[in-house]
Amino acid sequence: MKTIFLVDDSATILLSISNILGKAGYATEKAGSGEEALKKFQAGVKVDLLITDLNMPGINGIELIKEVRKLPAYKFIPILFLTTESQQSRKLEAKAAGASGWIVKPATADELLNTIKLVLR
């Protein structure tokens, strides 16, 4: 079973996505902030994919990706952004930080699961 790490400052979004992923057969790890997520990564959490929000207080999604990519165990882990932003400049900034892909909220369960399947091949 693949484990997906969800990072979002919205408890509703975390619960909603976690439920979708659970029904699709994925295990989830969750964090409500970039700081909380980074601590779990530094402690060696075992995950197959990171899905992070972009706009969060404290460490935002781009800063989180940069920090996660510095950790040898996570250098090549797939990372998806799940955000309301769709500007090309933000997408390029995320890609430069190490993001593998981008999902614009609100995403349907099918859009989410299809994108996850693509990056977890």
Q: Tens digit of pLDDT per residue, the chain (121 long)?
A: 999 999 999 999 999 999 999 999 999 999 999 999 999 999 999 999 999 999 999 999 999 999 999 999 999 999 999 888 878 888 899 999 999 999 988 889 999 999 999 999 8
Q: Where does 31-102 have alpha helices with state H?
A: 34-42, 61-70, 88-97
pLDDT of residue 104: 87
pLDDT of residue 76: 92
Of the chain, the end-to-end C-alpha distance in Å amounts to 13
Please state, in angstroms and rounded to a whole number, the distance separating the CA atoms of residues 31 and 33.
Answer: 6
pTM: 0.95
pLDDT of residue 82: 87
Which residues, including other chains, have CB under 8 Å from residue 14's CB and lie 6 or more apart? 6, 8, 30, 32
